[in-house]
Structure 1
């Protein structure tokens, strides 16, 4: 293949590139013989660019890519109405001329034409290397973003774009694509393409271009946007500029003539340029000052570019400043010294606005050749750069782009990955709103970011359509739907599962509120009990009870009563001056909690016979979650009536030993109507791809069993899962367990007590 020789041009120094330039010319002539117009133009672009920029590190033209284009041709139009060949050539021109990028960006642009949706990224990585794979993956993620509310949340969308891009060139190639499509906006046939191009330009690419120092690109995009949104205004100003061009040139020449004479007289080496303000800039000034076009006097500016030794730059600039201000009256309020103290972006220049002899104001920019090159090429784009490396985030990545885009080797470039510095994550609500969270944020962080009530009731979530637990970490671009339950309550463990300080504060507040409610409830229980016992519930009695129970504060007493860790009957004995017979009952907090689902509770009314009597109110204990078919017994509680436990309940032995007088014989009603019972199973096995999905498929799809909660974890190749289920009876559960045991990789499946 004639393209094979291009591999010889990889990774050469400046001398080697010049040495091998003849090989490139020979190859170009060979390509010309093939009469493929696209290849001729593309190779000609590379040829001219290499010839002009022979210090470039390398030029990479992959034989496989060219062979693919030759064999398959271009795909159909990626954007209806825009020819793909024209799109590629336009993008290459912008990347080369306006952004000063080199071959890696060219290849990414070419691949993006042939693979617009990022397909076969693994193949791209295998053929073109990890770096090219990163560029293409970043472009795919940016293209797939939901932009429905980009105008309302422009700043966060801009940060999201920069966060999901895995390589700097992903953003630059798409910026070039966006600029070309703006230039050919009227050719786009699909309304959705037009809206996406325009909204992306306004909210994302114009601000990024400005912050990266691509000022020409930024001004061009702004003018194009104005021509699309306000065509009458745009073409009105454009026509007036053209009409006044000759007069304006005379004014400019008259203005700079004295400056040229004085600069020459002082022996300074310099260039002098004049530039016309962009149409958008003129229109912005007209709106801001509420004036017409004729009242905008500073339509142009003059730039003095001085040749100077590095040590003498400041002195030379101030020398030129004194020459200009001796000739023309300066406006003291409009002097900007960004030489002594450069902008935070790194921009260096000395600006002054002076009044000419005919009373017109004109801006003069004074800078050295080095300052001008850095400003023009964007090397001064270190926007908002402050603090140490750990605090740099996306801002630091932006500051590195202009140093990195000139690199055209395909070796890993670790320092230009934005995710290395990302300290934020951006996720979508189901309605398309964007939420900014701290990096590493979990489902709980997101839920509390929506509202404290949502966080307090959060049980799990759907992320990109899949159910995940509340401690699942989020990634950029995830779409998250929070699932809540009115019976859910925050737990102290939640604090360990969040990263935001604000979220932790909200959880602690909710826990404190829960605790206060329990304290108030415990106090009310004791007041009611002691009133029934005809014992005065005084502060003196409370202090005595606290002391006897060896507690610190009175609220500790009320809390333990509410949580049923202290039996009020024991407190009655203390109040009557009697000794406690036994250690107070201490059963776990979950032992006597109600079933959380009210519908489940109401469906259980006629399923038991308790102490040979029908229709007695009861609760199913959460400590063992009995289901129909289990051997069970009833237990009379202090405040919650009768609770039903399994004979194998972990608390059964203690309850029967300490409180035999509270145990009531209980059995399931024969031929009772089938109802649902809550239970939990644990699954252990070897972690393999798709294991969790297989488990849920069998439970939900094959056996039609409802899942109410799930939590899957994997570590060091081992898999562990807990699944909350609704089953009819113990036989129903046993069938389910047998099906799960048959899954390859599952080692153990068993029922949990709680």
Structure 2
């Protein structure tokens, strides 16, 4: 019984009962997959996890053991993994958090489980302050992808549970975890076909990063639910009748687009919730295609499509056929957008039960159908091969590696053909040169031009769907640095960089010598700390990039004098505020230092008594009321950014350990610069009406007004000084009411 493992002093009676319920839920879900001694091994893993985590509690106060139990349940219930993954999910934190070693794991469970647990265990954070522990950990985890995809799938289950329980974490931890999630984990889930998990991760990111937007959209979706259901019923009535008359067995899924997707559309289109026409999609699932008749699936889907488009007029530009050419994550479906009888556009998705299973559960679902049709797993297998090629380049920095890898996660693709008709699936934006490298490294390196659909075009030409490409080469051609400007695929970038490395070695050596001599002349120590500060100051990915820039002459040696002056200025600030230098190496050390010195572990923006120097970042121009965070830079002290700043994703996902809590002081009484974007119908007196509201009604100081008019429509930007977000919202509301005004919104990033 489970009770034997639970020691009285560690858990309440209610907690013991809850642990039993969760453990039994895992066994119940796993029952169809259990063979041999699987149940015994799962029990052993559970007992070890219970013992290892018995003294640990989560931030919420709950027993830590709830977490591995929930991760194991997600693995089996929501992803469809088997007994080995359950064992690994139960054990995924024991090596990192306890005295147990990987050797202990291998002794009890074998080398396969050891390898997966190793991939799930973070590496020690012993990096210099400018390096990214997160990037190194991402890299370690991703290196296992080509060996065993279960490492990533279990990690996604782990991240999903952490996001579901993020409420109890401190604000800076919430931001760090949420941005890591949107940066790497949500795209990974999408790439592996885990649509439901990807959608939930994105929604939870928005919930913590922009809570007001999340809450508003969630409430509007909830209030419109009944109306939506009635519309779906009316819309589907004639289609359902015709499908039944044709003896097609089916069922309907009507679901709204997820909140993150709606928020993105509102931002991109500069519109409101009410003006998003395709808020939901209707999914027609064709039932009961036996595995041995999977070749009939395509015809069945097109038959259903014919019935839908006989009843409602389709938008010809909105047909997406992912049955003939599945997405590279294995996704198959027919999408069309049709005009309903009420005048609203409706997206209809048509697929079989198997396709729906793969779309919802992704990579894990493919194993069910493996062998039934050799083409079903081909796209995903091709992608795993591409990943292996990305992993081959071991000289890249972790940051570079992650950026290259993320390039493989983008869902938009372009399909192009060789002269013999071989299909190549590339990332959208791929050029002739990308296509050449996709065929072979040697062909890419010697590529001089391409014939696209019979027309001679340069290697930088961007390909479109259906292009047929012939590559032209010459013996004397060789890769140049300029090529990196227009290639987009990881394979092409990696091969070009490798070819350039030999050539660049001399510049790297020269640059290292230039820096060393100049530092000596200026009396600065040539230490690892100084090099890290220089790398960050000049915004270089790694030391080689820094040395190369000096050796090539892109950065002149005299720039080091400015670096020295700014470093000394920062040292004086720290001395003045009685804060030690090492306080600026991580958020934890900073919080400890200012709590000791100032009595508060948060940066209070606008509090003159705190006397901490900080800068409001110009990339997003925060104003009081904005949700913000402080970032400890290497050379420029503390920078304050908005949580939805264009740069926040990279800072929070790569350098979460340098993010500090920041809040606006109640004593802030200062005007801050912000930019507002306007669009509307041009008319006589429009500028006068805008100026009247800003200057006369709200008494706001205006720094600049820039308006362009074309064919009766005007667009413009106003730079104004406002006190806080409420002041800004009042101005936006007033401007929106001006006759002819179509759009008024605050610009996310602006220059002061």
Larger radius of gyration: 1
What's the TM-score bracket when you normalise by the shorter of the two chains? 0.3 to 0.5
TM-score (norm: length of structure 1): 0.47
